[in-house]
Copies of this chain bind each other. A is one copy, B any other.
Amino acid sequence: MKNEIKIFSPATVANVSCGFDVLGFCLDTIGDEMIIRKTAKKGIVITKIEGFDLPLDPEKNVAGVSALAMIAHAQPDFGFEIEIYKKIKPGSGIGSSSASAAGSVFAINELLGRPYNKTQVTDFAMKGEALASGSEHADNLAPGIFGGFTLVRSTMPLEILQLPTPKDIYATIIHPQIEIKTSDARGILPKEFPLKDAITQWANLGSFVHALHTNDYDLLKRALQDVIIEPHRSRLIPHFAEVKAAALANGALGTSISGAGPSVFALSRGLENAKSVENAMRAVYAKTDIAFETHVSRINTEGIRVL
């Protein structure tokens, strides 16, 4: 058994228009790298964090919290140290905390000889994710750990479905460098919604799942709508309507807020289209004084991987 591994823990997109709180997919061109090695001393030590200023105290770091939860259960007679090379900006809306929380437990599970299945790994990672978001969510963790498109049917007990990934599907992400407080992203949502809007949403989610199974891109396009969350949260993202219009005018299958934002994702059929959508989205923010980053990625069907 190895004593050290290096992993790539990818960024992820949660909600995906019609699947608030349950749907997600995994990116491939942006993610954190982490090195985890066994130590004689029991416990978890975070020895290094590069990229962003995050706490080294394992009880205050999402990667540490999930790791502590796993070793509390596995009870190995050794410990682990963690180096984090953070590439996903915290607060960007593409699963930064999730990548950390999932990465450490994925790696520790490998070093322990895989005593846990992917759902169990996700369960431990939820402990870390809860530190970041205040509650146990798996909508970013699931695509990171399982890869592809995932549907979290239930968190209690945790149940994750792996959905098929159409071969030719690509994602574009634009991250306007503004801060949205989680409390604002939550506070702006009504507690209750009209039944007719909920019906529209579940009709679209059911259709989206059917479209993934049948490779029906036209249906994907029609199903990628969000009548529940986007009308509220999009008000927190400057120029959202223009970015969305630009992506759709350039042939995107659909576009909406990634997670709680501020990043906006689009899905495209084919890499060329994804790049053209990227250019169209960039052009919107290029006219403003808001800094931004973009990513184009195939859907990563593997999830976290050992490097």
Decide yes or no whether A292 CB sits under 8 A from chain B.
Answer: no
Q: Per-residue 0/1 for A183-197: is the Cβ within 8 Å of any B Cβ (1 yes, 0 no)?
A: 000000111111100
* Bound CA–CA A199/B192 (angstroms): 11
Interface size class of A (residues with CB under 8 A): 35 or more
Please tell me if the beta carbons of A153 and B222 are within 8 angstroms of each other in the complex.
yes
Please tell me if the beta carbons of B163 and A203 are within 8 angstroms of each other in the complex.
no
Q: Per-residue 0/1 for A275-306: is the Cβ within 8 Å of any B Cβ (1 yes, 0 no)?
A: 00000000000000000000000000000000
Stoichiometry, copies per complex: 2
Decide yes or no whether A88 CB sits under 8 A from chain B.
Answer: no
Majority SS of interface residues in chain A?
mixed
Which residues on the B side are within 8 Å of A208 (C-beta)?
Answer: 206
Stretch touching chain B among A16-24, A45-53, A165-173: A16-24
* Bound CA–CA A206/B205 (angstroms): 6
Which residues on the B side are within 8 Å of A205 (C-beta)?
Answer: 202, 205-206
List 11 extra interface pairs beyond A151-B206, A154-B222, A191-B194, CB under 8 A. A21-B203, A23-B206, A152-B203, A153-B219, A161-B207, A192-B195, A198-B198, A198-B201, A205-B205, A206-B206, A209-B213
Q: Per-residue 0/1 for A202-235: is the Cβ within 8 Å of any B Cβ (1 yes, 0 no)?
A: 1111111110010000010011000010000000
